[in-house]
Amino acid sequence: MTTDHKYRLVIDNITKRYDNQAVVEDLTFAVEPGRITGFLGPNGSGKSTTMKVLLDLAAADSGTANIGGCRYRDLSDPAGTVGVVLEPNAFHPGRSGRNHLRILAQATNQPLGRVDETLAAVGLRPEAAHRRVGTYSLGMKQRLSLAGALLTDPPVLVLDEPANGLDPQGIRELRELLRVRASRGHTVLVSSHLLTEVEHLVDDVVVIDGGRLVTAGTIAELTASSARVRTPSPQVLSQHLTTAGARIETAGPDTLLVTGLDLDQIGDTALAAGIALHELSAQAGSLEDVFFALTTPTDNAQKGFPS
């Protein structure tokens, strides 16, 4: 696989306000070619707004969003560079799926043969493609949206909830399709609420909440970065670890689950405080566990994650 870094996506200190309220605030992260990046956050966290700023559909109040070092509007061939699934139901309900793609093909100077190729790639059968879009199920509309995004064979995909409405077979096909794109060195940014599916799909994860970055890293780093600690002095150790920047959850009368510090830091903190440890081990978790730990406030800790 070869990657072309001119298709690296960079969100740099973006702030976007509506009615004097920040929807996205000082947000910075990068999306690398040759990898699938999951863009996660609760409803209203600013994901769709960030994507709109990247695609020049909304103007940032400050900061920049670039594709290979330039804004979307400055790309020499925007439609041929970036495939987008963003707005649901962006179709004329009286037009057939195939005719919708034919119009897109003409607008982007694509051969009409690409229409049938792309319909086949997303699993829309000929009989469905000739039906009016107004008769489509949500899953069929999602397939048609994805076909439109793939029509120009772009090296960048920006997809907002592309699996919404798909059945298990459709989700599996979407996963395989995006994996092939990434293996070709393409850049793929996907937002989704299907955390279990995201865990099987993505290489990297960016989590935002309240318009701010919570954490970013590989899926392996995020799901294997907590520690199980057993000690006869859990309350005292918890205080010391919290002071050192950790997030603590109680898992038993003598057991803590710790995020925010690695094993060496936890052991050094306990040693400095003169606290005995009976167990200190890495604790793998699911992406869902990590997501809710990071985006659900608790009384005894602030949101955070190790860098």
In tens, the pLDDT along 17-51 reads 999 899 999 999 999 999 999 999 999 999 999 99
Mean pLDDT of the chain: 90
Query: What confidence category does residue 291 fall into, taking pLDDT thresholds of 50, 70 and 90?
Result: confident
pLDDT at 225: 66
Whether 299 maps to a domain, the answer reads: no
pLDDT tens digits, residue range 198-253? Answer: 988 999 999 999 999 988 988 887 776 678 899 999 999 999 999 998 888 788 89
Statement to judge: residues 43 and 151 lie in one domain: yes
Lowest mean pLDDT among 3-7, 73-77, 297-301: 297-301
Helix and strand tally (H, E) in the chain? 12, 13
Which one is predicted more confidently, 262 or 30?
30
Residues 208 and 233 grouped into a single domain: no
Which residue among 218, 253, 268 closes a domain? 218
Whether 307 shows a pLDDT value over 50: the answer reads no
**What is the chain's length?**
307
Dihedrals φ, ψ of 13, to 5°? 55, 45
Is the same domain home to 129 and 265? no
Write out the residue range of the structural domain in which residue 237 sits. Answer: 225-283
Amino acid symbol at 59: A
At residue 173, the pLDDT reads 93
**CB atoms closer than 10 angstroms to residue 246:** 24
pLDDT tens sequence across 84-134? 999 877 899 999 999 999 999 999 999 999 999 999 999 999 999 999 999
Of 218, 236, 258, the domain-final residue: 218
Total number of domains constituting the chain: 2
CB count in 10 Å sphere of residue 57: 14
The amino acid that residue 61 corresponds to is D
Residues 33 and 85 in one domain: yes
Q: What kind and span of H or E run contains 259?
A: strand 255-259
Tokens read off for 133? 């879009």
C-beta of residue 257 within 8 angstroms of C-beta of residue 276: no
Question: Cα separation of 79 and 160, whole Å?
Answer: 17
